[in-house]
Amino acid sequence: ANLFESAALYHYNSDSWASSVQPGGVSQHLATVGVSDGFFTTLRARPLLGRLLSKEDHQAIQPASGRKVILPVVIGHAFWTSYFGGRSDIIGQELTLDGTPAVVAGVTTPEFRLLRNGEAEAFFPYWTVSDPQVHDYNWRFFDIVARLSPGLTVEQARTRLKFFSEQRERADPRADRGLVVRLESLHEELFGSYRAPFPLLFGTAGLLLLISCASVANLLLACGVGRERELSVRSALGASRWRILRRLLVESGLLALAGGVVGQVVCRICLASFNAFAAQAGMQLAPAVVNVSVLGATLLLVALTGTLFGLAPALQLSLSTRLSAFTLRSGSGRSATLPSSRRLSRLLVSAEVGLSLALLVGMGLLLVTLWRLTDQPLGFRPEGVETLLVGRPTFDGSVSYAARQAVIWPQALGRILALPQVRAAGWSEDFPLASQGRQPWVVQIGIDGRQLPPPGYLTVEGQEVTGGYFAALGIPLLRGRPFGSDLPTQPHAQLKEAVINASFAAELWPQKDPVGRTLTLGPRRYTIVGVAGDVKQRGARAEAPPRFVYTPLRYGDFSDYGARFLVVRTRGPAAEALAGIREILRELDPDVKVLRAQPLQQAVESSVAWDRLKTGLLVVFGTLALILALIGVYGTVARNASARQRELGIRLALGSPAPDVIRLVMREALSAVAAGVAGGLAAAWLGAQLLANQLFGVSPSEPVVYASVACALCAATLAASYVPARRAIAVDPMQTLRCE
């Protein structure tokens, strides 16, 4: 049976490979996607306006068709809205795509997104499945999207695909050697990174809700014990237990409703802060809003929590067969606490302390994770570095266009380096943390003129840079030198030099100096001129690529790309340096634009934005949980001390030392705290195992975190129980005896 119902190829051109669109003579740089036939049908996409690309569109652009190439283009919804003003007559609009005549065929819907890269701005036909390069084993820079056959799971397809790949390699070893097949769910690619923190956040919010319910239940129980005489009178006058229970549940329901209203107000305030944080951190998230579903969930939670925290104390007070006789006998009006009520109170305190401990341990583990993420070396120094995406002038169709581009960019770099506000600068096709879309290459490797032993293929990553790139980013050169200033100005010139990272050098030439040796990547041979330190290209959590090759950037190829990155290490305020750079570029060519300028430190902060958000929320939840637990301990000790006021007065009057009386008052609450800590440590360990994939640089069973949190919680509860106990012995014992 076929694995896939349909499949298609696509190649995403990110910002540094953006294309220039020229409708009506106004240029615009944008991200484009070249797709094969069947791309939109595989994704079952529908157009908002016009139509999507068809098989006939792909066949029409092939050279064999003999037709003049006019590219049909499908534009993204955001680009249609921002650039064309959402015009409904956009279909048939003529434009130029990198010098090629094109026409708008359709507009995608707002929700159409391409995996891993966000929303593309234009889609154009690139291949047909029968194209020779699609079947060329050396041509591996495209991605594939496929729809599984009905009834087939991702895991089953992954197993079968691996089997077919192994069969193909045995049949034709050259075809797939070194190629690693990876099949992932599109839904997981799109939403996996965003969805991962939510089980943690839902879990911690649920724990906090349980702690709140336990705290409110304890307070209701304390208030109910104070109302024992009132409830006993109602019972004696003929009120049924169900009527008493119903009254108590209505009271708890009204309390829950008031809490829900306050919660909605706080929720809206917090959502505004969250949306501002997400926008500042560069998260690609739709604004969070309170809609009908959220309101419905809130009402459901209000009903559940009102029942949850009101039921136990209501049952305790209304169903006690001893209630009437026991309370009315104490005719002085003083409440007599039932032993079962005290046991329930201790149980609730233990639950509060245990759940709080579990939350605090999770908070501690995430705090250590965030510290390790922000404190670890990245392989470069982002402080004082600005990254600029510079778009080339619009293609004018002249034969001298490429030659002019080859002259502009080295001149610009020379003048930028002469600015007093600039320490170092370099051009590059990418920079760390902006390389989410970079695809590694599987190539045949040779060293010093000989091929590696079979299979001889390795997965390699790389980028083209100028020599100043290393100094601008603060990437250390461990051996050798960077590239010189005499970079190729001819289009597609043969590169002869390369700088490799330390891990790749150690793999190919262990215990040897690789400088001066030769490295062959497929058909290209390079001389190693330097060894750079390893760099985390994809963020703090990801490992540095083990094999990374820097090659000289060819100025002659600038005309092939929509934009390039300029990386600048500034001296003093960055605004002055950026103003000078913009002025230089404008003088060289008024059509050159700085499309985006961003401090590299901001990109670093964005890479750990989710971790900051998770940790910040857990700190808030943990703090609230601790406060609720301390309130529970304080209230329990205070209530017990009040109930035993006569006993304590007699003990003090008979000469018992005050510290002994304080310990007596605190003992009951602290025993509940000890039980809660023991249970909380076990719950924290279980929860930490579920948290393992969110941690970095710390074990889920880190003993220092557990011990620190347990000691801090015990100290806080000790203080919370000491205060009411100390107040209890401040009463004059003789006054207590006279009242009796």
Tens of pLDDT along 388-435? 988 877 666 565 666 777 788 889 999 999 999 999 999 998 889 875
pLDDT at residue number 71:
83
On the question of pLDDT at 176 being above 80, the answer is no
Q: Give the residue, 712 or 203, on which the prediction is more confident.
A: 712
The model carries a pTM of 0.78
SS (H, E, C) 688-719: HHHCHHHCCCCCCCCHHHHHHHHHHHHHHHHH
Whether the pLDDT of residue 123 is over 80: the answer is yes
- Confidence category of residue 26, pLDDT binned at 50, 70, 90: low
**Is a pLDDT exceeding 50 seen at residue 379?**
yes
Judged against a pLDDT cut of 80, whether residue 193 lies above it is answered with no
> What pLDDT is stored for residue 17 in this prediction?
45
Query: Quick check: 643 pLDDT over 80?
Result: no
- Asked if residue 192 has pLDDT above 80, the reply is no
What mean pLDDT value characterizes the chain? 80
Residue written as tokens 């895991």? 155
Position 173 pLDDT exceeds 70: no
**From the CB of residue 591, how many other CB atoms can be counted at a distance below 10 Å?**
14
Q: Taking residues 166-170, what's their average pLDDT?
A: 72
> What confidence score (pLDDT) does residue 165 get?
73
Counting beta carbons within 10 angstroms of the beta carbon of residue 237, is it exposed (0 to 12), middle (13 to 18) or buried (19 or more)? Answer: exposed
Specify the DSSP element, H or E, that contains 531.
strand 524-532
pLDDT (0 to 100) of residue 466: 92
Query: For the residues 123-147, what does the mean pLDDT come to?
Result: 66
Q: What is the DSSP string of 119-176?
A: --SEEEEEE-TT-GGGG-TT----EEEEEEPTT--HHHHHHHHHHHHHHHHHH-HHHH
Looking at residue 418, what DSSP letter applies?
T
Beta strands 441-447 and 457-465 are antiparallel
Chain mean position to CA 31: 23
For 35, 221, 567, the CA distances from 252, given in Å and listed in that order, are 60, 11, 61
As a whole-number percent, the residues of the chain with pLDDT over 70 amount to: 79
Q: What is the mean predicted confidence (pLDDT) over 570-584?
A: 93
**Token representation of residue 97:** 């795509």
Helix, strand, coil proportions of the chain in percent (round to 5)?
Answer: 50, 20, 30
Query: What pLDDT was estimated at residue 335?
Result: 46
Bridge-based pairing of strands 548-552 and 457-465 is parallel
Q: Do strands 477-480 and 457-465 pair parallel, antiparallel, or not at all (unpaired)?
A: unpaired
Q: Shortest CA distance to 91 belongs to which of 73, 77, 109? A: 73
Q: Which is more confident, 453 or 149?
A: 149
pLDDT digits (tens, 9 = 90+) for 657-677: 888 888 887 887 788 889 999
More confident residue, 673 or 280: 673
pLDDT digits (tens, 9 = 90+) for 356-369: 999 999 999 999 99
Residue 498 pLDDT grade (very low, low, confident, very high; cuts 50, 70, 90): very high
Mean pLDDT of 45-69: 76
**Burial level of 722, CB count in 10 A (0-12/13-18/19+)?**
middle
Q: What is the pLDDT of residues 518-546, one digit of tens each?
A: 999 888 889 999 999 999 998 888 889 99
pLDDT band of residue 225 (cuts 50, 70, 90) is: low
pLDDT at 576: 93
pLDDT digits (tens, 9 = 90+) for 300-344: 887 887 777 777 666 766 655 344 444 445 444 444 455 666 777
Residue 72 has pLDDT above 70, yes or no: yes
pLDDT at 139 over 60: no
Q: What CA–CA distance (Å, rounded) separates 603 from 447?
A: 36
Within 13 Å of residue 488, how many CA atoms lie on the same side as its CB? 17
pLDDT for res 388: 93
pLDDT confidence of 27, banded at 50, 70, 90? low
How far apart CA 120 and CA 76 sit, in angstroms, is 6
Q: How confident is the model at residue 190 (pLDDT cuts 50, 70, 90)?
A: confident
Specify which residues 13 forms β-bridges with.
Answer: 32
Q: pLDDT class for 596, splitting at 50, 70, 90?
A: confident
**Which tokens go with 600?**
């590299």
- Highest mean pLDDT out of 237-246, 607-616, 653-662, 697-706: 697-706
**What pLDDT is recorded for position 259?**
80
Instruction: Determine contact, residues 551/495, Cβ cutoff 8 Å.
Output: yes
- End-to-end CA distance of the chain, in Å? 91
- With a CB cutoff of 8 Å and minimum separation 6, the contacts of 459 are 178, 180, 440, 441, 442, 547
